[in-house]
A and B are shown apart, each in its own frame.
Chain A
């Protein structure tokens, strides 16, 4: 009932507004010359609004940057993230001027060339020179962006050299939680698959595989040593999830039936980041970023980046798979 009353009320408001407008319009038509179904007066007002909008739009943009700029992600906490952040800034340096300049032309021309009965529009239908110019300039700019982008991309996607010192972690997603498995002293992850899932063995690790024995399974949080490459392997046991670690500029889908990988070098410890962000409660997180079910919005795990010594101490405290 309330709903009905509200709807009727809204309709009434709209209708009365319309009636008022109609009267205003009739009045305007009587006053001004009608050109192409629009009165000259209306046309002038609209032209002016073009300028007003231009200014307001830029002001809104600036206001947002000023107001929300600090809410954006802090400096990248991974090595490659610094590079991609720089690429992002270069891209901004290209697209923001394009955005601003084209908008100025668009709305300024609209304002300036509003209908004037004493003027004729210029019959200007094409110019090969102009069109060549604005094909070539974007092409050059794009070439730069593409080259820079692709070289970073290739570097980021190359797995860690297995000879080098690194940490190997398998992250497993399921509705709606994460678990992780560290490779242990042998540096190798044992076999795993959904067919081995049973009771406490929620990650489905194959007990018979000798590489499994020293693997370490953790839930709730993972620890990473600062400055050492971390090689992640991702799995999912039900639907697609995505492991998103925004502070490290890292993301990879977790796909059932397929193993995916990503790697990065953490560069800033959690403690340091607390200072940088001026936030005592700061914590790195890993969150799910692919629609995966009702509780998709709450599928998270903490990440703690610490010195190598602290990391090793923590890892030593974790139980080996064989002990379970």
Chain B
């Protein structure tokens, strides 16, 4: 792209900050919008945790935030479902898909591969603005007649198709579908741009095998998105047809509200297949960027090369490939052909192998390192812990014979929050702490970061670990309260404890919010390469300039992981414990960790 001729143009405020086509600015826009949505999603979860921990009790917070959804400070049962639905939707798509990928793919792809900008700055800008519009519509849907979509983030029909079934399936659901359609467009524009940029705009010497793992992760994530999001779009379109134009793709044999509906011949199971064809890869769309980010950080802050670079890349590819052929594990008890169930069990458990390789490689990277515990490093180590803790229970859920009894219980809620929710959010926090100097030219406060990390990880496990026990006791998810069942009488203590942890966790995030804004405005100025890292972004000046590098784009001569490389005498080759990718190889030096 000919970004250079823009170089000296005066950009007025509107184009610099609002309709910017600069990847660095767009990245910040994604970050702020994503965090804002995430914050709303978090407040929602705290509110419905209040209801779960103290069912039927009145709270001013519920009254204050929910107004007409909660009479006398007690939320209505169908509004509980609306909150859970919107919480899930916001967290998965808005915070951890657009917020995470949008921020870091945009920031890091051009900077780490040595490009002046994304392949198409214009599409990139569109991608953000589609995301923005989609967010606004999603938020507006909270206020419409009948309430927001309430059929769970998985919006299975017929519940999501029939306003008679739940009020949220009226206008709220329509807006949900519209918002998601726009969201998908945003995601596709972004992903295509990322793919093209990575494949075509690498600087001289930046071969695929010299790419930092972040870039590999973003590339594979984008490919997954391009393959699977369109399927969700078609699922949503068919649902729109069923809802508004009387078709019967998903509907058949329905008697509701005292009458038999005209629909016949469709099957809700078709929707489930289409939904999960996206839904499962989505888990990895959320997770892979976090794995990429933390691989980079763990290596840098251990002052050691990432262990098994090729194995890390291979496992990213293997995970991505397997992730598109496992969707059926969400449907073991839908009455699907048992043989199909067996196949999905097989493919699902296979994913454990590349995942295990990743974990072992992380741990081996720490071994004999020289570790600096920046807040980013803490969150990266936290990610390894959550990835293990949540991953092992996947072996239970992925085993069809075992899933029969815990499907849709709180065990699942515990599992996916830890392995996907926490891992991804830890990766995102790690990324922000680490690349904050690159984004804002200033440092975040460490002490606050330390407190933020420790309170968050303790409370996060306090919230989600006990949920496994609830699930093993047979407590279903998406229940407004457990108090209707004598069987669950003893669960109230667990639910209360979880709620307390959730409240503290939510308040702890204020530490981060404060640190973020305070540091962006008043934090100490950062040096050009504060973490003494090898990758290309740290060779660009602290001040953001259009085109990223003032002169020529630097040429790359080695992979990104030459940390603590020594010669025969045990002395650092470069005199320091890191060697930037732009430093040419010495006469006896081999590349790629050999």
Q: Which residues in A have some Cβ–Cβ distance to B below 8 Å?
A: 2-3, 10, 14-15, 18, 21-22, 24-25, 28, 35-38, 42-43, 45-47, 49-50, 53, 56-57, 60-61, 64, 68, 71-73, 81, 83-84, 87-88, 91, 94-96, 98-99, 102-103, 105-107, 109-110, 113-116, 119-127, 130-131, 134-135, 138-139, 142, 145-146, 149-150, 152-154, 156-158, 174-175, 193-195, 197, 204, 234, 237-240, 242, 244, 246-247, 249-253, 255-261, 281, 283, 285, 287-298, 300
Shortest Cβ gap from B483 to chain A (Å): 9
B371/A135 in contact, CB under 8 A: no
B407/A251 in contact, CB under 8 A: yes
Report the 3 A-B pairs with minimum CB-CB distance, sorted nearest first.
A125-B593, A257-B252, A260-B335
Shortest Cβ gap from B352 to chain A (Å): 6
Our pick among B267, B305, B378, B466 for the contact of A257 (Cβ within 8 Å) is: B267
B381/A110 in contact, CB under 8 A: yes
Q: B566 at interface (Cβ–Cβ under 8 A)?
A: yes
Question: Which of B9-17, B89-97, B219-227, B471-479 is found at the contact surface with chain A?
Answer: B471-479
Q: B207 at interface (Cβ–Cβ under 8 A)?
A: no
Known: A131-B311, A146-B349, A291-B151. A84 touches B404 (CB 8 A): yes
B252/A50 in contact, CB under 8 A: no
* Contact indicator per residue, chain B 81-123, by CB within 8 Å of chain A (1) or not (0): 1000000000000000000000000000000000000000000
Question: Which of B23-31, B195-203, B358-366 is found at the contact surface with chain A?
Answer: B358-366
Our pick among A154, A239, A287 for the contact of B165 (Cβ within 8 Å) is: A239
A-B contact count (CB 8 A): 387
A37/B260 in contact, CB under 8 A: no
A291/B77 in contact, CB under 8 A: no
Question: Which of B174-182, B185-193, B228-236, B337-345 is found at the contact surface with chain A?
Answer: B337-345
B254/A131 in contact, CB under 8 A: no
B514/A253 in contact, CB under 8 A: no
Q: List residues of chain B with CB within 8 A of the CB of A289.
A: 407-409, 476
Q: How far is it, in angstroms, between the C-alpha of A94 and the C-alpha of B409 when the chains are bound?
A: 22
A294/B408 in contact, CB under 8 A: no
Shortest Cβ gap from A100 to chain B (Å): 10
Known: A36-B531, A121-B370, A146-B345. A46 touches B473 (CB 8 A): no
Q: How far is it, in angstroms, between the C-alpha of A119 and the C-alpha of B386 when the chains are bound?
A: 30
A149/B399 in contact, CB under 8 A: yes
Q: B405 at interface (Cβ–Cβ under 8 A)?
A: yes
Q: List residues of chain A with CB within 8 A of the CB of B531.
A: 36-37
B399/A87 in contact, CB under 8 A: yes
In B460-482, which residues have CB < 8 Å from any A CB? Answer: 461-462, 465-466, 469, 472-474, 476, 478-482
Our pick among B374, B389, B451 for the contact of A36 (Cβ within 8 Å) is: B374
Q: How far is it, in angstroms, between the C-alpha of A73 and the C-alpha of B308 when the chains are bound?
A: 43
User: Which of A43, A116, A297: most chain B Cβ within 10 A?
Assistant: A297
B373/A47 in contact, CB under 8 A: yes
B366/A257 in contact, CB under 8 A: no
Q: List residues of chain A with CB within 8 A of the CB of B570.
A: 120
- Chain B's interface size range is 35 or more
Q: List residues of chain A with CB within 8 A of the CB of B593.
A: 123, 125-126
A sample of 8 cross-chain residue pairs with beta-carbon separation below 8 angstroms, ordered by A number, consists of A38-B373, A84-B404, A84-B405, A145-B399, A239-B156, A246-B474, A255-B268, A296-B81
Q: List residues of chain B with CB within 8 A of the CB of A122.
A: 304, 368-369, 564
A72/B349 in contact, CB under 8 A: no
Q: How far is it, in angstroms, between the C-alpha of A114 and the C-alpha of B370 when the chains are bound?
A: 6
User: Which of B77, B260, B269, B446: most chain A Cβ within 10 A?
Assistant: B446
Assuming A60-B461, A98-B388, what are 5 further A-B pairs, CB within 8 angstroms? A14-B510, A106-B366, A125-B561, A138-B353, A242-B407
B335/A244 in contact, CB under 8 A: no
A121/B302 in contact, CB under 8 A: yes
Q: How far is it, in angstroms, between the C-alpha of A133 and the C-alpha of B490 when the chains are bound?
A: 45
Known: A125-B593, A258-B335. A3 touches B469 (CB 8 A): no
Q: List residues of chain A with CB within 8 A of the CB of B341.
A: 153, 157
B473/A71 in contact, CB under 8 A: yes
Q: How far is it, in angstroms, between the C-alpha of A123 and the C-alpha of B566 when the chains are bound?
A: 8
B395/A145 in contact, CB under 8 A: yes
Known: A36-B374, A253-B334. A156 touches B404 (CB 8 A): yes
A109/B446 in contact, CB under 8 A: no
A60/B353 in contact, CB under 8 A: no
Q: List residues of chain B with CB within 8 A of the CB of A139.
A: 353
B335/A252 in contact, CB under 8 A: yes
A285/B338 in contact, CB under 8 A: no
Q: How far is it, in angstroms, between the C-alpha of A43 and the C-alpha of B303 when the chains are bound?
A: 14
Q: How far is it, in angstroms, between the C-alpha of A68 and the C-alpha of B498 when the chains are bound?
A: 14
Our pick among B265, B381, B396, B566 for the contact of A106 (Cβ within 8 Å) is: B381
A123/B304 in contact, CB under 8 A: yes
A57/B461 in contact, CB under 8 A: yes
Our pick among B334, B474, B490 for the contact of A73 (Cβ within 8 Å) is: B474
B370/A150 in contact, CB under 8 A: no
A84/B254 in contact, CB under 8 A: no
A109/B367 in contact, CB under 8 A: yes
In this complex, what residue of A is CB-closest to B60? A2
A142/B353 in contact, CB under 8 A: yes
A149/B372 in contact, CB under 8 A: no
A149/B159 in contact, CB under 8 A: no
Known: A14-B511, A121-B563, A125-B305. A258 touches B311 (CB 8 A): no
Q: How far is it, in angstroms, between the C-alpha of A103 and the C-alpha of B360 when the chains are bound?
A: 11
In B429-475, which residues have CB < 8 Å from any A CB? Answer: 443, 445-448, 450-451, 454, 457-458, 461-462, 465-466, 469, 472-474
B368/A21 in contact, CB under 8 A: no
Known: A113-B371, A124-B368, A139-B353. A256 touches B159 (CB 8 A): no
A298/B484 in contact, CB under 8 A: yes
Known: A197-B255, A261-B335. A142 touches B367 (CB 8 A): no
A98/B335 in contact, CB under 8 A: no
B490/A71 in contact, CB under 8 A: yes
B407/A37 in contact, CB under 8 A: no
Q: List residues of chain B with CB within 8 A of the CB of A194.
A: 253-255, 260
B400/A149 in contact, CB under 8 A: yes
Q: B577 at interface (Cβ–Cβ under 8 A)?
A: yes
B465/A138 in contact, CB under 8 A: no
Known: A149-B401, A290-B408. A157 touches B472 (CB 8 A): no
Q: How far is it, in angstroms, between the C-alpha of A60 and the C-alpha of B309 when the chains are bound?
A: 35
B486/A281 in contact, CB under 8 A: yes
Q: List residues of chain A with CB within 8 A of the CB of B451.
A: 21
Q: How far is it, in angstroms, between the C-alpha of A91 and the C-alpha of B345 when the chains are bound?
A: 14
In this complex, what residue of A is CB-closest to B158? A239
Q: List residues of chain A with CB within 8 A of the CB of B286.
A: none
Shortest Cβ gap from B93 to chain A (Å): 18
Q: B297 at interface (Cβ–Cβ under 8 A)?
A: no
Q: B541 at interface (Cβ–Cβ under 8 A)?
A: no
A292/B253 in contact, CB under 8 A: no
Q: B78 at interface (Cβ–Cβ under 8 A)?
A: yes
Q: List residues of chain B with CB within 8 A of the CB of A96.
A: 392
Q: List residues of chain B with CB within 8 A of the CB of A130.
A: 360, 364
Q: How far is it, in angstroms, between the C-alpha of A150 and the C-alpha of B101 when the chains are bound?
A: 37
User: Which of B371, B514, B572: most chain A Cβ within 10 A?
Assistant: B371
Q: How far is it, in angstroms, between the C-alpha of A253 and the C-alpha of B490 when the chains are bound?
A: 27
Q: B133 at interface (Cβ–Cβ under 8 A)?
A: no
Q: List residues of chain A with CB within 8 A of the CB of B359.
A: 102
Shortest Cβ gap from B168 to chain A (Å): 9
Q: List residues of chain B with CB within 8 A of the CB of A81.
A: 405
Q: B532 at interface (Cβ–Cβ under 8 A)?
A: yes
Q: List residues of chain A with CB within 8 A of the CB of B252.
A: 256-258
Shortest Cβ gap from A50 to chain B (Å): 7
Q: B507 at interface (Cβ–Cβ under 8 A)?
A: yes
Q: B205 at interface (Cβ–Cβ under 8 A)?
A: no
Q: B357 at interface (Cβ–Cβ under 8 A)?
A: yes
Q: List residues of chain A with CB within 8 A of the CB of B422.
A: none
Known: A38-B374, A121-B577. A253 touches B368 (CB 8 A): no
In this complex, what residue of A is CB-closest to B524? A37
Q: B245 at interface (Cβ–Cβ under 8 A)?
A: no
Our pick among B78, B485, B532 for the contact of A293 (Cβ within 8 Å) is: B78
In this complex, what residue of A is CB-closest to B160? A239
